[in-house]
Structure 1
Amino acid sequence: MPPRQSSDTSRGKAAVSDVYSSMRASILEGEIAPGTRINIDAVSRSLGVSQTPVREVLQRLEGDNLVVYNPGRGYSTTPLLDLAELRSLFEFRLLVEPWAARSAAVDRLANPARTLEKELAAFRSTMHGNADLRQDLVAHDTRFHDTILAASGNAVVRHAFAQTHCHLHTFRLYPADVDGAITVAEHSAIREAIQACEPERAEVAMAEHIRNSFGRFAQAFEGNPALAPLEDAGPPRRHMVE
């Protein structure tokens, strides 16, 4: 009996993992539109699983801020960011990430340049063999920025940043860099500054990357009179966190 129970548990975990991957991809790629109410029974039937793993997955997706739960209505996919929310998100990034890049550009073992180069090399390989890079690009971007935040050594800042789920939200909003080439070029500039242990250069490269990213994603709101360059947010605060 114990081995059978273990086998059942493994199958259950596999089912949850498969359902999570499937639903997450459907939301990120727009197959399930923003603001769509999710019918648990319909999802379980379409994926050939019971409702139990679907419910568990919805709780995980709620933690990712990809779905929301409303009493009496159940789960629905979160709406896309509007322009004001996008600006607020990138202004937060402009405060935190240039500081993190500056902190990472140090001549000690915590310098993450080698890890960043491995990440860039892996993504470059993906660029040559995959026609649709959207999922790979968001995964690369998440790992690249998290590596720098981790190297800063401040767990509170890293956790606060993770809670914004910025990569998932911006990925849903607009495919701003379809082939990944612009992102790789800007990431490479940041990595080179960190490897050279030049804090000011790393800070400037990260700030430029974030401002440029905002401009690319803000194209979804082209023609909106409220759209203005992110430079209005002011320069990055170098010593926000000591």
Structure 2
Amino acid sequence: MPPRQSSDISRGKAAVSDVYSSMRASILEGEIAPGTRINIDAVSRSLGVSQTPVREVLQRLEGDNLVVYNPGRGYSTTPLLDLAELRSLFEFRLLVEPWAARSAAVDRLANPSAALEKEITAFRGAMTSSGDLRQDLVAHDTRFHDTILAAAGNTVVRHAFAQTHCHLHTFRLYPADVDGAITVAEHSAVREAIKACQPEQAEAAMAEHIRNSFARFAQAFEDHADLAPLEDGGPPRRHIVD
């Protein structure tokens, strides 16, 4: 068998990238409902590709915790977070991210304020679009928070946070901040405190942002829950009603 040509390899990589982007978007935007079994043959036919890139993409999506593999049944999309899981995720974020913001608010070259401002400015440009911003908001939120975690300089914490895939999972719930304006305002407050090298203010601004984010995403459970605080002085928590 002759060796594969570089053009063939490039086409293969492009196919995987395209399929990944398409399937990821469909899952995040709810076009493929949570808990849906994925028919590999049907996906390959609908996207006009062979089954090989689809299988590779499903493995990547499994790594993102967006699909799960069950022996004998194949792949299916993961269920949405329930309220208890959402609360646990945000409690973890309250432990990690205010500390990271405080650690990043330093008067040295590691200060990430310039990168954060660039990220906010880029997303504000996307906000002028009339299209669905969910994918852009997921990407912006992921980059913004990861930039702060990277500046904190603790690779163990950063890796542990990345393994939660929190941005992908929370944005599968309906966000109250559909145009991103509230998120940008809260991100800007965090960025200003980091730029000014004010660690206490940066920590407080990030904690407020995390609490507010929890309250917004918890609205997805509003019709099936009673209110209770996330923590003293925090946003509302909801207990699911049987």
TM-score, structure 1 as length reference? 0.93
Q: Do 1:34 and 1:79's aligned partners in 2 also have CA atoms closer than 8 Å?
A: yes
- Report 1:7-18 matches (<5 A): 7-18=7-18
CA displacement at 1:149 relative to structure 2: 0.2
In the alignment, structure 1 residue 186 sits paired with structure 2 residue 193: no
Aligned AA (1:169): H
User: What corresponds to 2:110 in structure 1?
Assistant: 110
In the alignment, structure 1 residue 70 sits paired with structure 2 residue 81: no
Q: Do 1:28 and 1:172's aligned partners in 2 also have CA atoms closer than 8 Å?
A: yes
CA displacement at 1:143 relative to structure 2: 0.3
CA displacement at 1:175 relative to structure 2: 2.3
Structure 2 gap segments, 5+ residues each: 235-242
User: What corresponds to 2:127 in structure 1?
Assistant: 127
SS at match of 1:228: strand
User: What corresponds to 2:237 in structure 1?
Assistant: none
State the Cα deviation string for residues 200-233 of structure 1 (Å, max 9, x = none).
0000000000000000000011144454222249
User: What corresponds to 2:149 in structure 1?
Assistant: 149
Report the Cα distance in structure 2 between the residues aligned to 1:212 and 1:44, rounded to whole angstroms.
Answer: 40
Report the Cα distance in structure 2 between the residues aligned to 1:106 and 1:221, rounded to whole angstroms.
Answer: 39
CA displacement at 1:5 relative to structure 2: 1.1
User: What corresponds to 2:31 in structure 1?
Assistant: 31
Deviates further, 174-183 or 78-87: 174-183
- Report 1:28-107 matches (<5 A): 28-107=28-107
SS at match of 2:109: coil
In the alignment, structure 1 residue 160 sits paired with structure 2 residue 156: no
Residue correspondences, number: 233
Identify, as 1 or 2, the structure richer in strand. Answer: 2
Q: Do 1:97 and 1:149's aligned partners in 2 also have CA atoms closer than 8 Å?
A: yes
State the Cα deviation string for residues 86-117 of structure 1 (Å, max 9, x = none).
00000000000000000000000000000000
SS at match of 1:114: helix
SS at match of 1:69: strand
Coordinate RMSD, CA, aligned: 1.4
User: What corresponds to 1:21 in structure 2?
Assistant: 21
SS at match of 2:65: coil
Identify, as 1 or 2, the structure richer in helix. Answer: 1
Q: Percent identity?
A: 89
SS at match of 1:222: helix
TM-score, structure 2 as length reference? 0.93
Report the Cα distance in structure 1 between the residues aligned to 2:55 and 2:206, rounded to whole angstroms.
Answer: 39
CA displacement at 1:131 relative to structure 2: 2.6
User: What corresponds to 1:210 in structure 2?
Assistant: 210
Aligned AA (1:142): T
Q: Do 1:211 and 1:231's aligned partners in 2 also have CA atoms closer than 8 Å?
A: no
SS at match of 2:167: helix
Structure 1 gap segments, 5+ residues each: 235-242
User: What corresponds to 2:238 in structure 1?
Assistant: none
Report the Cα distance in structure 2 between the residues aligned to 1:131 and 1:175, rounded to whole angstroms.
Answer: 16
Report the Cα distance in structure 2 between the residues aligned to 1:227 and 1:172, rounded to whole angstroms.
Answer: 22
Deviates further, 171-180 or 146-155: 171-180
